[in-house]
Amino acid sequence: MIVSPQNIENSILNKNLSNREALGTCCYINGSTLTSSTQLNLCAPNAEAVVNAGSTATYQYVNATGTSSSITWSYTANPVNSMSLTVNGSSVSVTFSSSFINGTLSAAGSGGTAQTCNTILNITKSGGTVCCSPTFDAFYICDGTVKGKGAVVPFVNGCDVNTISSIVWNLGGAKWVAGPLAGQSGGTMLPPFNQYSKNIGYYQCQYGMFQISATYNFNNGCPPKTYNLNVTPSN
């Protein structure tokens, strides 16, 4: 039997999709303009698509847990009104004007045999601004004390740090232990980002897992990106 590269890619896609389904509700927006990395990680956050300005593309809402009886489509566009939608249930036809730069397409499914699930697709113009997806990692060690200590480690993931205008943090109960935001359980970081401490503390370890979130804002027209991470304190 000859296995084509496309079959191998589909096998990887289906395996990754099955793994995410096992972890919980999985829904996504599918279509021919999705980037190759998004096609291999359909349920992952920060899904991306690239389109030509002045073109029309069709997308489908897919919920891996069943069929949704109600699907609501919405969008944001830069500039305003540079996208228009024609909705047909779980499918939508999107027309991008010649002035289109970037935007988002959102779908919220509920009812029917599927679990309620919302998803967002980030869309950029081909040859235009390339939007990136910065993330972060974090750890927290209780080390026998009541409050413990930890750190947040950002990853720019290929982003030009000069395009990040601010980072809005929520530490989920922990607090920064040094720097301009010391004693705060979140706050907004502005460039230069190396002026801020990455160390966190003050979290009550007996409460167990907590969530840290960061919203990255950009100065190049790209939409904000929010990344959430569940942190389980260790001893």
Domains of the chain by range and CATH? Answer: 5-125 (2.60.40.10), 135-231 (2.60.40)
How far apart CA 24 and CA 22 sit, in angstroms, is 6
> What is the reported pLDDT for 228?
93
Q: Percentage of the chain surpassing pLDDT 90? A: 51
Q: Say yes or no to pLDDT of 9 above 50.
A: no
Label residue 185 by pLDDT band (50, 70, 90).
Answer: very high
Task: Note the pLDDT tens digit of each residue in 140-156.
Answer: 998 766 678 999 988 87
The answer for residues whose C-beta is within 8 angstroms of residue 103's C-beta and 6 or more apart is: 75, 76, 77, 78, 82, 83, 123, 223
Cβ proximity of 84 and 47 under 8 Å: no
pLDDT at residue 16 greater than cutoff 70 = no
3 state SS of 187: strand
pLDDT one-digit tens code per residue, 171-180: 999 999 999 9
Contact 121, 129 (CB under 8 A): no
Phi, psi of 221 (to 5 degrees): 90, -5
Is beta strand 47-51 parallel, antiparallel or unpaired with respect to 117-125? parallel
Q: Would you place residue 47 in the very low, low, confident or very high pLDDT band (cuts 50, 70, 90)?
A: confident
And the tokens for 190? 């502005």
Query: For 193-205, how does the pLDDT look when each residue is reduced to its tens digit (9 = 90+)?
Result: 888 999 999 888 8
CB-based contact 185:171 (threshold 8 Å): yes
Average pLDDT over residues 53-73: 92
Is residue 129 within 8 A of residue 101, CB to CB? The reply is yes
pLDDT over threshold 70, residue 170: yes
What pLDDT does residue 32 have?
85
Of residues 50 and 155, more confidently modeled: 50
Q: How many CB atoms lie within 10 A of CB 37?
A: 12
